[in-house]
Amino acid sequence: MEYTILGKTGFRVSRLGIGTAEIGFERMPLASVSELLLFALDHGINVLDTARGYESSEELIGKAIGHRRRDFIIVSKCGYGEIEGMESLPPWSKKKITASVDQSLKKLRTDHIDIMLLHTCTKDVLQKGEALEALLIAQQKGKIRFIGYSGDNEDGLFALSLEPIDVVEISLNVTDQYNAEKLLPLAKEKKVGVLVKRPLGNCPWKDPLELSPQYGREYGEEYRRRFKAMGLKAADLGIEEDGWAEFFLRFVLSFPEIHVVLIGVTKLEHLVQDIQTLKKGVLPQPVWHKVRESFIKAQSLSGSIWLGQG
C-alpha cells in the first residue's frame, strides 16, 4: 500500500480509502462488511468514508471494526438526512449538526471522529456560519479532530477559502474534471487534504441495467452522456474492453495533489482488483493528457460547462 500525509491534518493515509455509501444503502450483512473492512485494513487501507445520511453505514462500521477502531481514520459527514427523532430540524442548523455528530459517535461506537465534513451545503450556508460554528464547538469538545467540506464547483472553492477547513472531498474522474482545474491547485496551495469520490464515475461504459438500481443508475446518467460525447475508445488508449474500471482508477491516481481515492466496494474481489490496480501505478503521461484533452474538447462542443457531479 502507498501512503501520503493528508495535508495539514498530519494523518498518514493510504492512497486508497473505502467509501461506504453502498454498504449502507444496500444494507449489506454485518458479516460481509466485517470481512471487507478487515481485509482492507490487513492490506494497508486505513481510511473509511461514511455519512449520517448513508442509512445503516455508520452502524455497520461501528459493529464491524469497533475492536480495531484506532487502526482506522474515520471520515463522516453531517448537515442533513436522517437524524433519528429530530427529522424536523432544519438542515445545516446548529442543532441539526450537533445532533448528527452525537448520533454518528454513537453508531460508530467511538469517542471521536477523525474528520467531519459538512455534506454538500451551498456557499450561502457556509457564509451564514452556523454550520461551521457547530463543528468548531464539536471540535473544541473533542468529538471531532478535523473539519472539512464535501462538495464541488464554486461551493467547494469557497469552502477552501475558510480557515477551519482542513480537508475537502470532491468528485473527480474521466468524465468529471472540473475540480481538477479549479479546486486541486488551490487545495495544494493551502495544504488542505483532498479525498476523491466517484473515481469510476458510476461505470459509464456499462449498460445501466447492470448497475445497482438503488445507487448506481440515477447517479450515472450524466456520466454516461459525457462518456459517449468524449468518444474514448479502449483500443486507442491501449486497454482491453473490460479494462475500463482499472483505467478510470489509474486516471485519478495520476493526480499528485490527491491524497486519498475513495473506492465504493461491496465485494471482496473488487477490492482485490483495486489494490492490484494501485500497484500498476499512474497512467503514462501521453495517455493521461489524451483523456484531459478529450474532456476539454467534448465540453467545448457541448456548449456548456461540465460541472462536478456532487
Q: Give the pLDDT confidence of 286-304 residue by residue, as tens digits.
A: 999 999 999 999 999 999 9
Q: What is the pLDDT of residue 217?
A: 60
Q: What is the pLDDT of residue 154?
A: 95
For 272, residues 6+ apart whose C-beta sits below 8 A from its C-beta are none
CA–centroid distance for 111 within its chain: 23
Q: pLDDT per residue over 250-259, tens digit each?
A: 999 999 999 9
Sign of CA dihedral 275, 279, 280, 282: positive
Q: pLDDT per residue over 221-247, tens digit each?
A: 899 999 999 999 999 999 998 999 999
- Residue 28 in contact with residue 266, Cβ under 8 Å? yes
If you search the block for the grid coordinates 477490492, which residue do you land on? 271
Mean pLDDT for the chain overall = 93
Q: What is the pLDDT of residue 206?
A: 84
pLDDT-derived band at 66 (thresholds 50, 70, 90) equals confident
3-302 is a CATH 3.40.50.10420 domain: no
Closest CA to 151 of 132, 168, 126: 168
Least confident of 4-18, 34-48, 95-109, 212-226: 212-226
Give SS3 for 193: strand
The residue-averaged pLDDT of 200-217 equals: 74
Q: What is the pLDDT of residue 198?
A: 94
Q: What is the pLDDT of residue 218?
A: 67
Greater confidence (192 vs 211) lies with 192
The residue-averaged pLDDT of 177-195 equals: 96
pLDDT beyond 60 at 6: yes
Cell numbers that stand for 151 in this block: 462538495
Q: What is the pLDDT of residue 229?
A: 96
Percent of the chain residues topping a pLDDT of 90: 85
For 106, residues 6+ apart whose C-beta sits below 8 A from its C-beta are none
Cell numbers that stand for 233 in this block: 475508445
Q: What is the pLDDT of residue 196?
A: 98
- Residue 263 in contact with residue 274, Cβ under 8 Å? yes
Cell numbers that stand for 158 in this block: 469557497
Q: What is the pLDDT of residue 210?
A: 65
Locate the domains of the chain by residue range: 3-302
The residue-averaged pLDDT of 197-225 equals: 79
What DSSP string runs through 290-304?
HHHHHHHHHHHHHTS
The residue-averaged pLDDT of 28-52 equals: 96
Percent of the chain residues topping a pLDDT of 70: 96
Q: pLDDT per residue over 85-126, tens digit each?
A: 777 888 899 999 999 999 999 999 999 999 999 999 999 999
